[in-house]
Amino acid sequence: MNEIIAEQPKELREVVYRAPALISLYVAARVGEGHLASSEIKSVKQYASILSHQGPDDVQDYYKEVRKTIVNDIEELDQQLPDDKNERQKEIEKRLQPVKAFISKLPVETGEVFKDTLLSFIIHARNATEDTMVSFVLPFVMDELVKLEDERLQKLL
């Protein structure tokens, strides 16, 4: 995967490598407080590490690179992005547009694997930012709400 990314213009390479950080911040703005807490950042980094060792072979090298900078990327992007949750979401969607175009140009199988692992960041980030009190109080409703939210979030890519 890194060989394909290396052939891309610098601006595209940067956004592709920052996509998991952008996705995590998007989810935090959508379902959380808007910013990732240190425990949530740690969880996202751990997930990138897992994908770098146990993820699909096609993208392990990509996630090895991502895990090196994901904490810095999250912190830097968090400072750059608007504080307003709605504005933050819009800006992240705008920044992820080139990633969508990049995925569509990949070989079909590679593109599907890459997109699936990026979408898995949505679910992982949502679980990391989920309000535990809501889960405790409304366990019967939460499953349906989570399914609906997952469907909405997956439209990001």
Look at residue 120 in the predicted model and tell me its pLDDT.
85
CA angle 27/8/157 to nearest 5° reads 25
Would you list the domain boundaries of the chain? Answer: 2-154
What does the DSSP assignment read for 3-71? Answer: HHHHTS-HHHHHHHHHHHHHHHHHHHHHHSSSS--HHHHHHHHHHHHHHHHHS-HHHHHHHHHHHHHHH
User: Could you report the per-residue pLDDT of 23-57, keeping only the tens digit for each?
Assistant: 999 888 877 677 787 888 888 899 999 999 998 99
Look at residue 152 in the predicted model and tell me its pLDDT.
60
User: Could you report the per-residue pLDDT of 91-106, keeping only the tens digit for each?
Assistant: 999 999 999 999 999 9
Look at residue 28 in the predicted model and tell me its pLDDT.
84
Look at residue 149 in the predicted model and tell me its pLDDT.
58
CB count in 10 Å sphere of residue 89: 20
pLDDT average, residue stretch 140-150 = 52
Residues 101, 55: Cα–Cα separation, whole Å: 23
Residues 82, 69: Cα–Cα separation, whole Å: 21
Residue pair 114/34 in contact by the 8 Å Cβ criterion: no
**Nearest CA-CA partner of 17 in 54, 81, 65, 53:** 65
Q: Is the pTM of this model over 0.85?
A: no
Better-predicted residue by pLDDT, 125 or 74: 74
